[in-house]
Amino acid sequence: MKTLFTGIQPTGSLHLGNYFGAVKNWVKLQHNFETYISIVDLHAITILYNPKDMQKRILDLALNLYACGIDKEKTTLFVQSEVPGHADLTWMFNTVIPIGELERMTQFKDKAKQNKKNVNMGLLDYPVLQAADILLYKAGIVPVGEDQIQHIELTREIARRFNSRYGKTFPECEAYLTETPRVMGIDGENKMSKSKNNAIGLLESRDDIWSKLAGAKTDPARIRRSDAGDPEKCNIFSYHKLVTPEEEREEIIHGCKTAGIGCVDCKKRLLKSLFNVLGPIQERYSKLILEKKEIIEILESNAEKCRKVAKNTIIEAKEKMGLKPVWKI
């Protein structure tokens, strides 16, 4: 079975964008690959954050992932900083990749713009740490959206450079391009994100979600109830595409175009469809929250397993580099 690696920042509870953009897919893929999911706290510290919240956010994310269907047996879910090999391998890779390659990364340029007061080395080195994340486990498959392709190409480049300088050590991983819809925020203007304050959380109550939907913009051309609308110009319909069965969606399209359905009713139908997905996730979460101790133990034993895998890779890399092949943790 090929190895799959992916990472997610410890943002605490997940939202619809995280679920439909990534996690739902991982739940499927975990059956086909030896799967590692890392809660990438070392990546998270490249921007300003509150250290007091970090452990809470990590645990809450783990609970959310398990509630979404990540399988405790099938997937190795672990916290990145508990496996020192990630940082060790990053340093080794830093010595084979020219700075110019990192400076041209689109994500670095974007993040440097967004974090003008904190353009630190970690931001520049972020994709090298990603390469180390993947190659530490010699993963062949990395599920990504279009915006991450450049980083996967860089990972392949790092593997090639290391291999040509020191001998064949790392595989050239493949990006597993997934159908990851770009889920827009409730503002209809930006990608869904907690930082933009436009997210619908997976664990939010029916009432809270309804108050967000009730105030959400629809097709701007549909001013009165009697006006016909165009679902393709409506953010509410973009959510229907994620959660409402096709047959019902056809009815909504027809109703919207003929003014047969009002926006309030359309939003109520969306709320019902949303809870067909969120209901079971919330139910699982409420059980998992009572098993926090067990979840912490699973994360610790998974980190232990990862340290063993990492040890082999680090020793092999050190040996090839002429360094003493020891690695104690």
List residues near ligand SF4 by CB under 6 A.
218-219, 222, 229, 231, 234, 236-237, 256, 261, 263, 266-267
Residue 320 bears catalytic tag: no
CB of 233: closest distance to ligand SF4 in angstroms? Answer: 8
Residue 111 bears catalytic tag: yes
CB of 236: closest distance to ligand SF4 in angstroms? Answer: 4
Cβ-based nearer residue to ligand SF4, 15 or 222: 222
Catalytic residue of the set 2, 74, 194, 318: 194
Q: How far apart are CA 293 and CA 276, in angstroms?
A: 29
Q: How far apart are CA 139 and CA 272, in angstroms?
A: 39
Cβ-based nearer residue to ligand SF4, 22 or 263: 263
Cβ-based nearer residue to ligand SF4, 41 or 219: 219
Q: How far apart are CA 255 and CA 258, in angstroms?
A: 5
CB of 299: closest distance to ligand SF4 in angstroms? Answer: 41
DSSP assignment letter at 22: I
Q: How far apart are CA 48 and CA 189, in angstroms?
A: 25
Supply the DSSP string of 110-127, one letter for each residue: HHHHHTGGG--HHHHHHH
Contacts of 320 (CB under 8 A, 6+ apart): 166, 167, 169
Q: How far apart are CA 47 and CA 18, in angstroms?
A: 19
CB of 232: closest distance to ligand SF4 in angstroms? Answer: 9
Q: How far apart are CA 185 and CA 196, in angstroms?
A: 8
Residue 191 bears catalytic tag: yes
Tokens of 143: 């599920």
CB of 263: closest distance to ligand SF4 in angstroms? Answer: 3
Catalytic residue of the set 2, 74, 191, 212: 191
CB of 257: closest distance to ligand SF4 in angstroms? Answer: 8
165-176 burial, b at 16+ Cβ within 10 Å, e below that, comes to: ebeebbbebebb
Cβ-based nearer residue to ligand SF4, 104 or 225: 225
* DSSP helix, strand, coil percent of the chain (3-state; round to 5): 60, 10, 30
Cβ-based nearer residue to ligand SF4, 221 or 326: 221
The SS3 of residue 77 is strand
Cβ-based nearer residue to ligand SF4, 180 or 244: 244
User: Hey, which residues are catalytic here?
Assistant: 111, 191, 194
